[in-house]
Amino acid sequence: MKLLQFIKNWTLPLSMGIGALAYLVFYYVPALEEASQWFAPIFNSILPLFMFLILYVTFCKVDFAQMRPERWHLGIGTFQVVLSAALVGTILWRELSGDNLVLVESVLTCVIGPCAAAAAVVTEKLGGNLTSMTTYTFISNFLTAISVPICFPLINSDWSMGFFRSFVLILYKVCVVLVAPMALAYFVKHYAHRFHRLIISVKDLSFYLWACSLAIVTGTTVKHIFHADAALSFLLLLASAGLVLCIIQFVCGRAIGSKYGAAIDAGQALGQKNTAFAIWIAYTYLHPLSSVGPGCYILWQNIVNSIELWDKRRKEKRKAGSVTMNS
């Protein structure tokens, strides 16, 4: 029982460790090279499925009638847009190139990226408002769908797709991940009541689905780092920049949200990013090495999540202990 409780309490770091260890085993054992090539496309295709299932299970618990914009949504959205514009302006004003350009592009992808689809899962476990968080997830994704086609052509002269085509491409990817599971959850909740009750009866299902996807994403991140054509010192700089940005976004998010009584929601909304999406836009439209930044951001944001969940459990135990003593 103690082992099961330990696994439950430290699911996120264990998932990251398993993902990293699994890749390292395949990387350093030559006999597994053929197997790694066989598994690679499977993991690449199964990750979107996990993300779909995470959102579907999460949306099954949402009260759709209560979904509406709130004041803290505006504050967080404005912070994301202004910081993204400042980074793009820095690139253009300073005419950055080489490693300096890659560094700022790496930071930009972690800022302009949308709120993580799984942020609602952690927000709920931390005691935040699931419906409000889910509403902002939509807002954030549409902000990104508009911001990326505007900003990226300015800093990448090789991007020739044009605004409308880029907008449609990014919006399509967002809708596949976000709108489809919501539509399915809405249908099941209103027209398949027995199946809906079965889904919501499984406690923390979306959380453990997310843990599985985290193991896959961590393994992919380690792969990007191992195959990056750059000096170790520069890779460490990219990782450090991601750490600093992660702390800034979580702290600023909580500060903005605290003004509206939504510190938990706003902190997760700004700090927890859809890094899989950020890696994709970095590798596709910017310098491939800039994808290392959001790859490391995955680790940092989930370490923060683990600390937040640990702190919540600690406070609950202390509160339960004080209640027992008083009674």
Question: What's at 300, amino acid-wise?
Answer: W
Q: Flag whether pLDDT at 263 surpasses 90.
A: yes
What's the CATH architecture for 9-319?
Up-down Bundle (1.20)
Higher pLDDT, 9 or 243: 243
Q: What is the pLDDT of residues 273-311, one digit of tens each?
A: 988 778 777 877 788 788 889 888 988 998 898 888 888
pTM score: 0.78
Buried residues in 247-278 as b, exposed as e (16+ CB within 10 A): eebbebbbebbeeeebbbbbbbbbbbbbbbbb
In sequence order, the β-bridge partners of residue 273 are 115
d(CA 294, CA 27): 22
pLDDT tens sequence across 137-182 = 878 888 888 888 888 877 876 656 666 776 777 677 767 776 788 7
Q: Render 236-269 in DSSP notation, one character per residue.
A: HHHHHHHHHHHHHHHHHHHHHHHTTT-HHHHHHH
Average pLDDT over residues 185-198: 87
Interval 50-105: pLDDT, tens: 778 877 887 787 777 778 899 999 999 999 999 999 999 999 998 888 899 999 99
Q: Distance between CA atoms of 185 and 9, rounded to whole angstroms? A: 28
Q: In 3D, which of 302, 303, 266 has the Cα closest to residue 137?
A: 266
